[in-house]
């Protein structure tokens, strides 16, 4: 009898561990699928793959303009600068390509990752900096458009066509994801908006003459070159959004922004990356 009780206990314990694992990994995917269904219901004619075009997907005229601009992008010389930085050997004699998995190609869609050893979210920019430090250079400032921004802009083009594939595995990763989710859905600023108010509830709706983009697909195309050749990273865009709702923005690279980027990027899983692109 005692033995049966013990076995039952072990079985129950095993079941709860299993369930714990299932719910931990099902949370983010449930969130993502719920949003995909929300948009599918709201915009039945819009194909899933078209979400990479963000607001342009809702506006054929703007999309046609975008297509013609992208034939001869106005930011090519900026990308060339990024390519030069990318190819310049570091102090150790190694290059970024030597330092990163797969020579840095077709990997950008895996980032941000949650690094269990560091206990935090690591962005692609962080990884480039880690590479620098490991090879005798100083880390660049996160948010420095002239260095890290240009390198990441070029490097992400090496992953064009890769499907976003963010992974949230383990308790630490889930905690960071949930923190990003709280930031996304929390109403802030004098104007009292959450990211979700605009980019979930009002996606596809015009605010004055501007169409609000849906959250799905947003993370696939950064940095964007806005208005021609002004490099804007995803986290700089977060700053812009927080400024617009009259909230105090963070500096790029803050824990809050990194966790937000982690959550936000997860929601674009399954969509193709296209860097770098023109946005007005």
Partner 1 sequence: MRKRASIITGVIATLLASSAYAVETGKDIAFNRSKGNCLACHSMPTLPDAEQPGESGPPLIAMLARFPDRAVLRAKIWDATATNSGSFMPPMGKHQVLTEAEIDKVVDFLYGL
Binding site for partner 1 (CB under 8 A): 190-193, 197, 201-202, 205-209
CA distances from 106 to 85, 109, 155, 166 (A): 19, 7, 9, 13
CA distance 119 to 199: 29
CA distance 163 to 165: 6
CA distance 86 to 148: 10
Residue 241 falls in the annotated catalytic set:
yes
Distance of CA 241 to the CA centre of its chain: 15
Listed in sequence order, the residues at least 6 apart from 128 whose beta carbon sits closer than 8 Å to its beta carbon are: 96, 140, 148, 151, 152, 155
Which C-beta is closer to partner 1: that of 120 or that of 182? 182
CA distance 173 to 113: 8
CB of 23 to partner 1, least distance (A): 27
CB of 241 to partner 1, least distance (A): 15
CB of 40 to partner 1, least distance (A): 21
**Which H/E stretch holds residue 121?**
strand 120-122
Cα of first residue to Cα of last residue in the chain, in angstroms, is 73
Which C-beta is closer to partner 1: that of 47 or that of 208? 208
CB of 247 to partner 1, least distance (A): 11
Which C-beta is closer to partner 1: that of 110 or that of 197? 197
Which C-beta is closer to partner 1: that of 156 or that of 199? 199
**Residues with catalytic annotation?**
241
């Amino acid at each position: 009898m005692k033995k049966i009780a013990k076995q039952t206990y072990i079985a129950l314990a095993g079941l709860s561990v299993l369930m714990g694992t299932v719910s931990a990994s099902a949370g983010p995917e449930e969130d993502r699928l719920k949003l995909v269904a929300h948009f599918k219901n709201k915009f039945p004619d819009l194909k899933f793959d078209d979400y990479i075009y963000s607001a342009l997907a809702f506006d054929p005229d703007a999309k046609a303009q975008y297509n013609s601009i992208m034939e001869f992008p106005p930011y090519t010389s900026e990308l060339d600068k990024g390519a030069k930085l990318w190819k310049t050997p570091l102090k150790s004699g190694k290059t970024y390509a030597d330092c990163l998995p797969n020579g840095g190609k077709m990997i950008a869609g895996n980032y941000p990752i949650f690094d269990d050893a560091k206990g935090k979210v690591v962005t692609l920019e962080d990884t480039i900096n880690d590479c620098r430090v490991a090879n005798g250079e100083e880390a660049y400032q996160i948010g420095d458009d002239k260095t890290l921004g240009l390198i990441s802009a070029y490097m992400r083009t090496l992953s064009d066509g890769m499907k976003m594939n963010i992974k949230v595995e383990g308790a630490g990763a889930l905690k960071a994801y949930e923190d990003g989710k709280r930031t996304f859905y929390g109403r802030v600023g004098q104007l009292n908006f959450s990211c979700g108010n605009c980019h979930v509830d009002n996606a596809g709706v015009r605010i004055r003459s501007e169409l609000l983009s849906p959250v799905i697909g947003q993370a696939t195309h950064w940095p964007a070159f806005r208005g021609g050749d002004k490099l804007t990273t995803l986290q700089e865009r977060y700053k812009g959004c927080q400024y617009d709702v009259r909230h105090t923005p963070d500096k790029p690279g803050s824990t809050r922004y990194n966790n937000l980027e982690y959550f936000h990027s997860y929601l674009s899983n399954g969509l193709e990356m296209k860097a770098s692109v023109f946005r007005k």
